[in-house]
Structure 1
Amino acid sequence: MNSATVRTLLVRGMLAGVVAGLFALVTASFLGEPHVDAAIAFEEAHAHSHEGGEEVVSRGMQATAGLATAVLVYGVAIGGIASLVFSYALGRTGRFGPRATAMLLSGAAFVCVYLVPFLKYPANPPSVGDPESLDKRTALYFLMVLLSVLLAVAATILGRRLAPRLGNWYATVTAVLGFAAAVGIAYAFLPSVSELPEHFPALLLWRFRVSTLAVQLVLWTAFGLTFAHLAERALRPRTARDGGVGEDAKDGEQREAEQGAAPSSTAPAAN
């Protein structure tokens, strides 16, 4: 794949990321923000002391412009990265076309980048928890993301190497089981972090975490569908156009040959 095609896919991936970010923004606004407000209200109601500092960014700004900026920037970033991965993976992961490759990549990214780390270190509502453990929790979360991605790459390589001996189906099953086993070992050895207040409502916590999961699911699904369509249009028309030019060239050469041969065959008859 040449650099011009990669650049085209990069632009379309970022555009798909914007579209996915808009869908995720709507989902977060309707599902996530009410639970964030409830968590903040709980924290304020049970706080024993309040600092008298002025609020730097208002809650209204955080829930509107702040949320939109964060989600859209995140969408553009993951769109650009995913498009580069797509450019490398296309044709190397089996006989999948652009649309199927984009959807498989989107699903794998959702599982590896978000779902696997989320199951070990689920999201907590803002302003709830111990601020002193924030750095530790953040470091552990990104460590889990890194491990998940590396294990997924290793599982893909394992599946490709086993395919000639076991067949595609059994090689894929073996690779997936190996990935799940390795993730389970990582879960067992990495420390857990619990920083919620003792009497925090379990239902509110559950709804908040489900809403964050829904936002990510909408984000990656929208990105996969949008980028699959854009990548298909970027790659397929050119292939068809190249083929069409070749056929037209052949037809033209044949017509020229026929037209050139006609005078030579009729010339003697005229004499």
Structure 2
Amino acid sequence: MIRTLLVRGLLVGLLAGLVAGGFAFVFGEPRVDSAIALEEAHAAHEAPAGHDHGEEELVSRPGQKAGLFLATGLYGLAVGGIFALVYAGLRGRVGPRSEGGLALAAAGMAFVAIILVPFVKYPANPPAVGDPDTINGRTLLYVVMVLVGLAATAIAVATARRVTAGPWARWAAGVAAFLVPVIAAWQLLPAVNEVPADFPATLLWQFRVASLGTQLVFWTAFGVLFGWLCDRAVRRRAAVPV
């Protein structure tokens, strides 16, 4: 059964990754192009007359755009495989009883814990935003927020399972148990604000919305497709005469 779930997760992850790649291509890449144009104009303005600071790109922009689908596809494969293994461990232990309901709930929690929680504190930035010298520190802070989101999710699930007063009480306890460590991390971890003063706020906002939207499209497509295939497999097994 685990092998079947793993293959299902890989295939659905690949498909969802390509769908998310299409969303990023349509809504995100134009913003990246605009940010790169601003960065190049700024560099040209600061360069001394007759001196070229330009560096040849290792990968051209058309190549980068084509590689976007490769990147999101590989991302989907990796996430799909990990999700399938986690899902196999959750079946029958926590969450909704139906296969599809559990898949949707798990995908939703993964999006909140892995994507939304760190994004609120450290949102994505386009080219021309961010100091290259601080990239290691910023990456570490982002990883810390991901770990906080995962730990908060585990605490919330464990807390909700201990509450027997009813569904509303379980939900309230779970949400509270999730928010306490997340809000504490948001307040305690250092802020990162390296947006240049002259960078267009509209472009920054549009890029961040497109970035978050790409992840939302991925996790929605993945959860719906994975859950549908799980429910379909259950119906097929039930239709087989014993």
Verify same fold: TM over 0.5: yes
Alpha-carbon distance in structure 2 between the residues aligned to 1:55 and 1:110: 33
Structure 1 position 180 matched with structure 2 position 179: yes
Aligned pairs for 1:99-110 within 5 A = 99-110=100-111
AA aligned to 1:101 is L
How far 1:72 moved relative to its partner? Answer: 0.4
How far 1:103 moved relative to its partner? Answer: 0.7
| Alpha-carbon RMSD | 1.4
How far 1:141 moved relative to its partner? Answer: 0.4
Alpha-carbon distance in structure 1 between the residues aligned to 2:54 and 2:109: 46
Asked if the contact 1:31–1:211 (Cα under 8 Å) also holds between the matched residues in 2, the reply is yes
1:206–1:94: structure 2 CA closer, same or farther, 3 Å change rule? closer
Alpha-carbon distance in structure 2 between the residues aligned to 1:205 and 1:87: 39
Alignment size in residue pairs: 236
Aligned pairs for 1:149-164 within 5 A = 149-162=150-163, 164=164
1:84–1:198: structure 2 CA closer, same or farther, 3 Å change rule? same
AA aligned to 1:108 is M
| Residue deviations 1:61-115 (CA, integer Å, cap 9, x gap) | 0111x21111000011111111111111122124421111111111111111101
AA aligned to 2:63 is M
Alpha-carbon distance in structure 2 between the residues aligned to 1:207 and 1:94: 35
Alpha-carbon distance in structure 2 between the residues aligned to 1:226 and 1:182: 31
Asked if the contact 2:148–2:181 (Cα under 8 Å) also holds between the matched residues in 1, the reply is no
Alpha-carbon distance in structure 2 between the residues aligned to 1:77 and 1:236: 28
Match of 1:37 in 2: 33
Structure 1 position 46 matched with structure 2 position 46: no
Structure 1 position 90 matched with structure 2 position 91: yes
AA aligned to 1:20 is A
Alpha-carbon distance in structure 1 between the residues aligned to 2:17 and 2:161: 33
| Residue deviations 1:97-141 (CA, integer Å, cap 9, x gap) | 111111111111111110111000000003432100111111100
AA aligned to 2:16 is A
Match of 2:141 in 1: 140
Match of 1:222 in 2: 221
Match of 2:209 in 1: 210
AA aligned to 1:173 is A
How far 1:54 moved relative to its partner? Answer: 2.1
Q: What is the DSSP-based 3-state SS (H/G/I as helix, E as strand, rest coil) of the residue aligned with 2:190?
A: coil
AA aligned to 1:60 is P
Match of 2:59 in 1: 57
Match of 1:8 in 2: 4
AA aligned to 2:60 is S
Name stretches of at least 5 consecutive residues in structure 1 with no aligned partner. 246-271
Asked if the contact 1:9–1:234 (Cα under 8 Å) also holds between the matched residues in 2, the reply is no
Q: What is the DSSP-based 3-state SS (H/G/I as helix, E as strand, rest coil) of the residue aligned with 2:219?
A: helix
Asked if the contact 1:8–1:234 (Cα under 8 Å) also holds between the matched residues in 2, the reply is no
How far 1:44 moved relative to its partner? Answer: 1.1
Match of 1:254 in 2: none
Alpha-carbon distance in structure 2 between the residues aligned to 1:95 and 1:18: 25
Q: Which runs of 4+ in 1 moved over 4 A?
A: none
AA aligned to 2:18 is L
AA aligned to 1:154 is I
Alpha-carbon distance in structure 1 between the residues aligned to 2:88 and 2:32: 38
How far 1:179 moved relative to its partner? Answer: 1.0
Asked if the contact 1:114–1:216 (Cα under 8 Å) also holds between the matched residues in 2, the reply is yes
Asked if the contact 2:95–2:105 (Cα under 8 Å) also holds between the matched residues in 1, the reply is no
Alpha-carbon distance in structure 2 between the residues aligned to 1:41 and 1:198: 17
Match of 2:236 in 1: 237
1:94–1:223: structure 2 CA closer, same or farther, 3 Å change rule? closer
Alpha-carbon distance in structure 2 between the residues aligned to 1:29 and 1:91: 39
Percent identical = 49
Alpha-carbon distance in structure 1 between the residues aligned to 2:172 and 2:212: 26
Match of 1:201 in 2: 200
